[in-house]
Structures are given as structure tokens and as C-alpha cells.
Amino acid sequence: MLSLAAWVCLALLGVRLFQLQILRGPALTRQVFGQRTERLPLEMRRGMIYDRYGVPLTDPQSTWGLAVFPRLFGDPAVAAPVLAEALGEERAAVVLDYVQRHHEAGWVIEGLSDEAAQQVQDYAAAGLLPGVAVGPTGWRYGPGSLARHLVGFANASGGWTGLELAYDSVLRGENVPHLVASYHGRGGPLGDEPLQVLQPRDPAGKEPYDVHTTLDARIQAAVEREMDRTAHPDGGPLRAAVVVVDPATGELLALASRPNFDQARYATEDQLRNRALTPYETGSVFKPIVAAAALEAGAVVPHERIECSGTYQLGDRIFRDVAGTVTGPVTLREALARSCNTAFIRIGYERLGADRLLEAARRFGLDEPTGALPSGFETVAPLPEPRYGGDVAQLSFGQGGLRASPLQVARAYTAIANGGVLHPIRLVTSVRRSDGEVVFRPRTEPSRRVMSRETAAELRQALLLAVVPGGGGTGEAAWVDDAGAAGKSGSADTVLDGRPATHAWFAGWFPARQPQYVMVVFIEDGRAGGAHAAPLFRRIAEAILSLDEG
């Protein structure tokens, strides 16, 4: 018979077996499995973001990386001279420090030369560097990366801004080649080849998908080159945004914001701000929308004379035209070309009123996202709520708290350029597998007519007059020789960082008679649209047209 002590031992052993097999069994199984295999991805587990022609917008760079699996690493004293011969003393010290401080595998060095990578590979194959391997890793963002504010940036934890964030779930993926190490139960190498390259075939796993866009890398690069050659009117770095859209389709061709940032390094909040998607006071670029509302409502007829008086008194407030504005009776075309505030007060305040002015802003999409990004990724400013006559008077010429982003303004101007149809802005055309198979296409909202063809034609003539040399308009500096251009300047008074400021705008299209490109140039605190935004518009337009000639 068993003694009492034996029965107690058996009982305790039974309890321990129950704990290990039943209570902790699954966890221990996972732990054992984790000890037997360790994986490192051979590339960033994200799909690519392409322009309309299949050009990667991030300028990815191919490079070799060095991976270390500390649990397979041999004697550091033996490995040190071998590493130093292959990598140099400094990089060898980095590898040895990693082995000393870490147990988990990791990519320790990136940017190895082909020669160094081959030498490490040869030494590892000869058994001189156990637990060390080289493989293709690469950098997602190269020096030629384009549309950085729109593309955004991502790191190992996922997308943080822009398309990288908005489409993070489709860009992510686990089914990429991995460097896999196998261990036996005691932690040593399993088999003759402990390090292997494997392509996971997990049916439940997702491969990274690619995002294809409407952007044109050639146009985007031309826009950015001209912006980078342009200083801010105050002499410092340019703080600006430029948007280029196809007026016939609403496809976004280019979008740039300055100052720029390095997607692989820390950036300040000001550098990260996408000024093309930030709402700003619109100023006079809103006047064509007021004119459209007045023509559609019959509040103004094209050849009617309206007083441009220099000043307009409303109660105890006096509104003034910009210094140098030619006064006297003007037609609607002349009022737009000269950007006469007092004439537009007579149109907007006296004839339309607050409700119809706000309705015009809504009709042209200034109170809604453009459609370029998924819901929630565009900032839309609420329309103002004018309470007094002075508020309505200011709204008539684009002040009074009316704000819109450069992309929203570009969308509105496509309707003028194309004959009256407001398209949603198209940016992402499809999400695809690496072999080109379409996974899905984003749904777009329908286009809508926002004014008659006749009204659009009248506005096109007015905005041509604003730019054509000798026409007396405020946008003559935007004129493009041979092709021509049309558009509207804007100088929007505001408060920036607690001080008075004036944003500079120019919104228009080119060529003048057959619009192919709608472009908006915005310069934060740029002083005057006609003096600073319009010339940049012209230089960018010339650069884009030279691409077509080539």
C-alpha cells in the first residue's frame, strides 16, 4: 500500500498536470511555437501608391539590410573580426551591441552596398556568422517622393496622415516574404539551414494592396519645382498650396503644399499642414459664385451698369474698394475683372441677400467635402451665419467669415470652366493586388449642374477679361502667352497668429478658350493675389504646357 506521503505527492502531481495541460496548455503551446520560429519581413508590409500611369509617388528605394537573430548568434568574440572585415568597425559594433541588448530578431543595418551584402552572405554561408543574414528591405520614401502632404506618411505601426492613413487598411498586409528562423525546443538552430526565406500562404492572411490615383507625376513634379523656386513675399520659405484639376472629369492631377517635409523624419505641425485641404478666407475668388447666383436669379443682366463707387456706407460702417480701383458705372464683366467690392455689395447685399448668397456657396460645394478622400478625411468649414447688414455686405465679396480650402475652390471653378457642371473630385481610381487585379473601386457621388451654360459662358468671358493684357483686370500677371488664361485674383483679409494678415489667391484655368486645367494658387499671408499668386499661376501653367509639347 502507498504511504500517505506518496498519496500526497501523487495528488500534487495531478494538480500540477491539470494546471499545465488544461489551464495553461494553450498558452504553453503558443509559447513553444513562438520559440520554434521567428520571422522578419523582407519588405515593408504596405502596398504602393501610384499615379495614373503606374509611377510610384513615394520614390521607393531598393537597398540591402542586415538581419540578426540573437538566439542563433555565435560567440561575439569570434564574430567580431569577421563582422569588422565585412562591414567596418563602426557597423560591426552596432551589430554586436544589438546582440547584447536584444533577444528578438531585427533588421539592424539598412543601406548595405552590394559588395558588403555579398561578403556577409558568403561568411554566413560558410558558418562564420551564424544568426546573421542579408535581404532586400528598401526605403518606402525616396528623395524624389511627390505629393507628400497628400500621400502622407507611414511607419511600422501604420499610416499616420494622408492617403497612408485614409487607406491604411488596404495598404497593410502580412503575406509578404519573410526571413524565418527555426529553433528546436532548447532554443538552438533546427536543421542544417536555420534561416530560410519563405512566402507565407496563409489563406486567412491579407496581402498588401496598391492604391492607384488620378495624379500625374509629371504635372505634380512641375508644380513642386516651381513652388520650390518661389520665395514667400516676406522673403522666407513659401507657405502655399497649389491644386490642378481636369475640369472635364474632376480628376485631381496635382496637389502640393509648402513648406514640405521629409516623410522619413520628424516634421513640425506647420510642415505637416496640408494647406491645399485647409479652409481659408476666400476673399474675391468667391465673387464669380456671387455673379453666378445673381445671373441665375435674374438679379443682374449681363450688360447692366452697376456703380463701382470706391466706398459704400452701411449704417456707421464704410466699405472700400482696393486702392487704385477704377470707379464709375461698370458691367458685371468689368466688376469681376476689376474686382470692385462696392459693385458686389450692390449685387449681393441689395439684390440677393444672405439666404441666396449662402445657397450659392452650397450649390458650388463650399459646405461639403470635395469627394477626393474617404468620409472624415477632409476638413470643411461651416458657412458663416450673417446677422447684420454689414455681415451680408462682407459676404458679397468673399469676406465675413466665409472659408474654403484651395481644393474646394478648384472644384467650384471647374464648373465655370466646363459649362456649369460640378463634378466630385476624383483621386483614388482603384485598389489593386500586386498582379493588377482590381479589388475595388471607390464609389463617387454623381455630378450636378449648378448653373446654365449661358451663365457659365458669361463668367468665362468676365474672367478672361480679368487676365487678358490691357483689359484692366487684377489678374494680368497670370496671362500665359499663346495659350492664354482666365481667372480671378483674391486678397483675403484675416487674422493670423493674432496679427492682421492677407491671404493671396488666384483661381482660374488654361488654355483660355479650351480649358484643360483648372488651377488654384494660394499663398498664406501672401499680401495680394494679383501681385504674388497670379505670377506663380503663370509660371506653373507654362511648365505644365511645356510637358504637353514634349
Tell me which DSSP letter residue 53 carries.
T
CATH of the domain at 156: 3.90.1310.10
Q: Is 2 contained in some domain?
A: no
The secondary element (H helix, E strand) that includes residue 346 is helix 341-347
By mean pLDDT, which of 7-21, 257-271, 364-378, 481-495 is the weakest? 7-21
3-class SS letters over 200-248: CCCCCCCCCCEEEECCCHHHHHHHHHHHHCCCCCCCCCCCEEEEEECCC
The stretch 210-217 carries a mean pLDDT of 98
Q: Is residue 386 one of the residues assigned to a domain?
A: yes
pLDDT at site 89: 94
Amino acid 21: pLDDT: 43
Q: What is the pTM of this model?
A: 0.83
Residue 348 lies in a domain: yes
Residue 177 has a pLDDT of: 74
Kindly state whether residues 439 and 513 are assigned to the same domain: yes
The neighbour count for residue 324, using CB atoms within 10 Å, is: 7
Which residues lie below 8 Å from residue 49, measured CB to CB, with a gap of 6+?
A: 56, 57, 58, 151, 163, 164, 171, 210, 211, 213
pLDDT interval class at 178 (50, 70, 90): confident
Based on the fold, state whether residues 433 and 504 are members of the same structural domain: yes
pLDDT at 192 over 60: no
| Integer Cα distance of 271 and 273 in angstroms | 6
**Count of alpha carbons within 13 angstroms of residue 132, beta-carbon side:** 32
Residues 228, 206 share a domain: no
Task: Using the predicted structure, report yes or no on whether residue 387 has a pLDDT greater than 60.
Answer: yes
| Distances from the Cα of 335 to the Cα of 52, 186, 339, 474, 483, angstroms | 40, 85, 6, 11, 24
**Residue 245 and residue 183 in one domain:** no
Contact yes or no for 189/183 (Cβ under 8 A)? yes
Which residue, of 212, 242, 264, is where some domain finishes? 212
Q: In angstroms, rounded to a whole number, what is the distance separating the alpha carbons of residues 543 and 223?
A: 8
- Segment 517-534 shows an average pLDDT of 96
* Same domain membership, residue 98 and residue 224: no
Res 54: pLDDT: 96
Residue range 474-523, pLDDT digits in tens: 999 999 999 999 999 999 999 988 899 999 999 999 999 999 999 999 99
- pLDDT tens for 399-414 read 999 999 999 999 999 9
Residue 12 placed within a domain: no
Give the domain range for residue 313: 217-549
Residue 542 exposed, middle or buried by CB count within 10 Å (0-12, 13-18, 19+):
middle
Last residue of a domain, one of 212, 241, 273: 212
Per the domain annotation, does 381 fall within a domain? yes
Nearest to 338 by CA among 472, 534, 458: 472
User: Could you give phi then psi for residue 511, rounded to 5 degrees?
Assistant: -55, 160
Q: Count of domains in the chain? A: 2
Which pLDDT score is estimated for 43?
64
The answer, yes or no, to whether residue 4 has pLDDT greater than 80, is: no
Query: Considering 147, 182, 212, which residue would you say is the last residue of a domain?
Result: 212
Residue 24 has pLDDT above 80, yes or no: no
CA 379 remoteness from chain centre: 13
Of 44-48, 207-211, 454-458, 503-507, least confident by mean pLDDT is 44-48
Residues 174 and 240 in one domain: no
CATH number at residue 291: 3.40.710.10
Query: 466 and 393, same structural domain?
Result: yes
| Domain identity same for 208 and 234 | no
pLDDT bin (cut points 50, 70, 90) of residue 183 is confident
In-domain check, residue 481:
yes
pLDDT of residue 32: 44
Angle at 123 between CA 110 and CA 183, to 5 degrees: 80
**Are 393 and 520 in the same domain?**
yes
Do 124 and 261 lie in one domain? The reply is no
pLDDT at 189: 54
Of 94-103, 179-188, 306-315, 520-529, least confident by mean pLDDT is 179-188
Same domain (yes/no): 401, 518 = yes
Q: Is residue 25 part of a domain?
A: no
Q: Which residue has the cell 526565406?
A: 197
Is there a single domain that holds both residue 492 and residue 509? yes
pLDDT digits (tens, 9 = 90+) for 222-250: 999 999 999 999 999 999 999 999 999 99
Least confident of 37-46, 333-342, 459-468: 37-46
Please list, residue by residue across 285-312, b when 16 or more beta carbons sit within 10 angstroms of its beta carbon and e when fewer do.
bbbbbbbbbbbbeebbeeeeebebbbeb
Structural element, H or E, at residue 93: helix 89-101
